[in-house]
Amino acid sequence: MTGRLNGKVAVITGAASGIGHATVELFVREGAKVIAADIQDDKGARLEEAHGASVHYVHCNVMEEVQIKAAVDAATAKFGRLDCIFNNAGSGGALDPIEAISAESFADVMNLHVRAALWGMKYAVPVMRAAGGGSIISTGSIAGLRSGYGPILYSTAKGAVIHMTRVAAAMLGADKIRVNCICPGGIATPIFAKAAGMATQVADTTVAAVAEALKQIQPLPIAGQPEDIAEGAAYLASDGAKFVSGHALIIDGGITVGEFRQGEGAAFAGVLQAVGVDPAAMQAVLASLSAQPH
């Protein structure tokens, strides 16, 4: 099927790499115009060059409310409307165990994942309401549904995104604004290496190794790709999902229903090894942090 998004305008945050980049590519192929919002200006410029009039890049640090507003404003200024916002920007989050969590790390993770998604809704809703409806999509995670798939702060934030999605869907349904989220499992992106502290350019080189490792951790023996999440976003943005709201769409290769190895983050031990991080060594570091006075 092609042309699912003909005539639609979308704002996608975290658009320059990983899931966001794949979603921009697919939305354009399906006929949408896209405001690609990110902080990676060089990659954003290349997106514009690749897609001409269909993509407009906006520098947007989602930790700054004013910049999220500017991205939404750019949609109406550049393309005359807004049909979809995909609150996608995020990171792997702090790895701190409970005993080592600081106020700063808590605020950073919650602001990046929860507050940024809320601000995306805040500024998209009036535009969509005036137009008679729209689609709001946020990136959740299987870590927000089950324990053991991520650090506690990241998992808590994603759990909040999932519940915020449900509450917002109930509040906005009368305006024909649909609110959904996508819960990815292990997806072959640089997020694992970045969470381990690697620089962006180095992390980008680990994706192939991550993909190989991911094949081993879920019932489907294939690696999840950014394009798999983009397909979910395209569906939720399209009129084909006109009766879908308040839903957390799990796209995870079956990992949440398959065999699970206990221990926080244990399911991704092979991925950590693939990017050159010794899981045992990381656990030792976390253990030493938790033993320090705070």
User: Within a domain: residue 274?
Assistant: no
Residue 41, in any domain of the structure: yes
In a domain, 271, yes or no: no
Our count of domains for the chain comes to 1
CA gap 83, 132 in Å, rounded: 10
Q: Is residue 14 part of a domain?
A: yes
Model confidence at 101: pLDDT above 50: yes
Share above pLDDT 90 across residues of the chain, in percent, rounded to a whole number = 70
Determine, yes or no, domain membership for 272. no
Inside any domain, residue 137: yes
Which residues span the domain enclosing 47?
A: 9-188+224-258
Cβ contacts of 214 within 8 Å, gap of 6 or more: 186, 187, 188, 223, 224, 253, 270, 271
The pLDDT score that the predictor gives to residue 284 is 60
91 a catalytic residue = no
* Residue 68 within a domain: yes
Phi–psi pair at 186, nearest 5 degrees: -75, 115
CB 58 within 8 A of CB 70: yes
Q: How high is the pLDDT of residue 106?
A: 95
Domain presence at residue 57 = yes
The CATH number linked to 228 is: 3.40.50.720
Instruction: Output 213 or 256, whichever has higher pLDDT.
Output: 256
More confident residue, 213 or 39: 39
How many other C-beta atoms lie within 10 A of the C-beta of residue 84?
A: 26
The single residue of 8, 33, 158, 194 carrying the catalytic annotation is: 158
Q: Which of 54, 135, 138, 141 is catalytic?
A: 141
Predicted structure pTM score:
0.84
Is 33 considered catalytic here?
Answer: no
pLDDT in tens, 66-99: 999 999 999 999 999 999 999 999 987 778 889 9
Q: What percent of the chain has pLDDT over 70?
A: 85
Q: What residues contact 31, with CB distance under 8 A and at least 6 apart?
A: 2, 3, 4, 5, 6, 7, 8
The identity of residue 268, as a single letter, is: F
Query: Is 141 part of the annotated catalytic residue set?
Result: yes
Residue corresponding to tokens 């324990």: 147
What is the structure's pLDDT at 194?
Answer: 61
